[in-house]
Amino acid sequence: MNIIVCIKQVPDTTEIKIDPQTNTLIRDGVESIINPFDLYAIEEAVRLKEKYGGKVTAISMGPLQVEKALRDSVAMGVDDIILLSDRKFAGADTWATSLTLAAAIKKVGDYDLLLFGQQAIDGDTAQVGPGVAAHLNIAQTCFVSKIIEVGKEYISVERLMETGFDKIKMHLPAAITVVKDINIPRLPSLRGKRNAKKAQLQTWTADDLGLEEDKIGLNGSPTQVVKIFSPKISKTGEKYELPPEELAEILYKKLKELGK
């Protein structure tokens, strides 16, 4: 079974800073990590490989420093790593990112399953996984908490819902996004770390993928961030120490004033 897992390198959430002039995240000098949700996708991909055979390929789009995230995935058990890096990719929204990743997956060619973390912690859109599936015209489902069974032509999964879960059966190839409930990511082994250092990294550009400049990056993004800011946190309140019946009357009056 050949699996492709798409991962992203993100700033550590404890170190996020915003440039007030450009309204973008300041990444220089900020520690970057594998998107935490993607660790569960990597772990599940490796478990499936160990159970059914095949190989796992990790793909990421970003600047050259993303190589570290990809090598960290090798330390967890990934076999092949591919970096999509080109200035033309800069500024991509979820649509342009999905298009670029889909083009890379087409270039890889032989795959049965695509795995994604449920969302990236720096954007929280949860759109890239479904977007890639749409560009590839393959079956997809999100928020998978358990893979029940994998056959030669299908996969059965449990998908988390607000009131419980659904059981979904899809034809392969398919794409799924996974939630944290699905597993506990392993720590890199010593052998894995050695493999990570020796792993051959393939780096592909827009020309390698045959993508037109007006379809990728900022030029190909139908959405753009106009403004980004940290919300102001303010707290107000009133404290009453009264018998229950008097508190109930005060609460009733307050809610009525608020139109509740």
| DSSP assignment letter at 234 | -
Residue 54: partners with Cβ closer than 8 Å, 6 or more residues away: 1, 2, 3, 48, 112
In a domain, 223, yes or no: no
- Whole-angstrom distance, CA of residue 147 vs CA of residue 157: 4
Residue 208: partners with Cβ closer than 8 Å, 6 or more residues away: 107
In a domain, 66, yes or no: yes
pLDDT value, residue 114: 98
The residue type found at 152 is K
In a domain, 257, yes or no: no
In a domain, 163, yes or no: yes
pLDDT value, residue 113: 97
Domain holding 92, by residue range, is 2-215
3 state SS of 58: strand
In a domain, 122, yes or no: yes
pLDDT value, residue 204: 97
In a domain, 94, yes or no: yes
Kindly compute the dihedral angle of the four CA atoms of residues 213, 217, 221, 225, in this order, to the nearest 10 degrees: -150
pLDDT value, residue 122: 83
pLDDT value, residue 14: 61
In a domain, 48, yes or no: yes
Split into its structural domains, the chain has a count of: 1
In a domain, 134, yes or no: yes
Going from the first residue of the chain to its last (260 residues), give the mean pLDDT of each consecutive group of 10, the final group possibly shorter: 95 66 60 91 97 96 93 96 94 93 96 96 89 97 96 95 93 96 94 95 96 91 78 80 88 82
45: domain CATH number is: 3.40.50.620
Q: How many other CB atoms are there within 10 angstroms of residue 78's CB atom?
A: 26
pLDDT value, residue 253: 87
